[in-house]
Chain A
Amino acid sequence: MSRGLTSGLVVLVVLGGFAAWAVGINNQLVSLDQQVNAAWAQVQNQYQRRADLIPNLVETVKGFAAQERGVLESVTQARARASGVQLTPEALNDPRAMERFQAAQRELSGALSRLLVTVERYPELKSNQNFLDLQKQLEGTENRIAVERKRFNDTVAAFNTRQRLFPGSVVARVAGFAPKTFFEAAPDAATPPRVKF
């Protein structure tokens, strides 16, 4: 075998090995990226579930405490605003978009908290089975939101780690993978509205 052919083969094998590694990194990133997107879809699902409960809640409260129009309206409006802020998977590496989404949901959480505090003053409402059921559903949904947020953060951590570890990070940058944003708990974020009577 000539020297030229030997070195040719060596080059081929080395290049092949490098290509296989790079493809491996890229595919891992793609897979982790998909997991982030799937987790995000779950987060949005649960927030939507919460939003779906609210009209019923507002109607029930109105039945007993129609005069609390201010609080009821702020809940309805906050819900509309929150539904308007959707986050597509592409925007998951944009901290500002994430912050806007979280701010909208936080506002809704705040309005719900105020509503539940208001309800305290209406004993008939507090003991109404329909209201109690809705409250249980709301609690369940808030719990699900918390679980999905944590899982989303876990997938983001896995992705970001892979994206930043050298030398894979070079491949990541070339292939256009940017780090994702976590769900942060704001310093003043209240725990989800959970008023125990």
Chain B
Amino acid sequence: MNDYARALAPEARARLERVLSEGERATGAQVVIAIFPALEGESLEDFSIRLASSWRVGRKGLDDGAIVVVFLRDRQVRIEVGYGLEGAIPDIEAARIIRESIAPRFREGRYEAGLEAAARALYARVESKAPAERRGKARGGFSVPVWGIVGFVAILAVIAVMLLREVATTRGLSRGYVAGRGGWTVPPIIVLPPFGGRGRRDDDSDSGFGGFSAGGGDFGGGGASGDW
């Protein structure tokens, strides 16, 4: 809940935050609200996807985040839906939530009521769909195999060490060594570290406002825009 336009009284904001965190506890998905005074030249969709990409609402890998972005003076609102919720909240449903829950109340100036209705509707849709059904597009991830290089160098190092050891015995640097018994020892087993981190939950940055911590969720541009 981030009210940059001071559209809501503190109690209203607190109430909304409670609704939002209850929903998050119940479903695991993360719905966030952001109210801005005005769009500054940018298009609603451009701004919204930039916001979503930088806030990373929702859990990494599950991408189960959604943001309700409101621009008061332009009277425009958008629900930006993360990849993982595109099954539970398809574009038409997001449009319907704007049309039925948000717009009528906003027209009467009842912002808190509208946002609460929207939050409840969004979480209700998430809850009604099993986690498997919520996913939209499947997304692949990539890890750069830096460790392949390390392993290669390690093998080279082992070869160098073995060469040095050969040198040491044949040149008699370790005196008293019985010839025929030194030679190549069994090289230590090289354990390569696992490939780069996909399982880490990173970016748990509490941005210091709104009381939500971003989980690294990803957005693909799904959702709907509307006005009142």
Contacts and interface: CB of A to CB of B under 8 A. Distances in A.
Question: Are A and B subunits of one complex?
Answer: yes
A13 B152 contact: no
Contacts of B145: 27, 31
Contacts of A35: 142
A5 B137 CA distance: 58
A42 B137 contact: yes
Contacts of A139: 91, 224-225
Interface stretch (A57-65, A70-78, A120-128, A142-150): A142-150
B142 A13 contact: no
Contacts of A12: 156, 159-160, 163
A161 interface: no
A173 interface: no
Contact of A136 (B91, B152, B160, B171): B91
A38 interface: yes
B14 interface: no
Contacts of B164: 9
Counting chain B CB atoms within 10 Å of each CB, which of A13, A38, A146, A147 scores highest? A147
A34 B153 contact: no
A148 B219 CA distance: 10
Contact of B220 (A1, A20, A24, A144): A144
Nearest to B43: A191
Given A5-B167, A137-B92, A27 B224 contact: no
B225 A147 contact: no
A48 B160 CA distance: 55
Contacts, number: 75
Query: Is the contact region of chain A dominated by helix, strand, or loop, or is it mixed?
Result: helix
A147 B142 contact: no
B152 A146 contact: no
B140 A38 contact: yes
A13 B221 CA distance: 50
Nearest to A143: B221
Given A5-B167, A31-B142, A137-B91, A20 B153 contact: yes
Contacts of B45: 143, 146
Contacts of A31: 142, 144-145
B144 A28 contact: yes
A133 interface: yes
A23 interface: yes
Nearest to B225: A139
19 contacts: A1-B167, A1-B171, A5-B167, A9-B160, A12-B159, A12-B160, A16-B153, A17-B153, A20-B152, A23-B148, A31-B142, A31-B144, A31-B145, A136-B92, A137-B90, A140-B91, A143-B45, A146-B221, A147-B49
Interface of A: 1, 5, 9, 12-13, 16-17, 19-20, 23-24, 27-28, 31, 34-35, 38, 42, 45, 133, 136-137, 139-141, 143-148
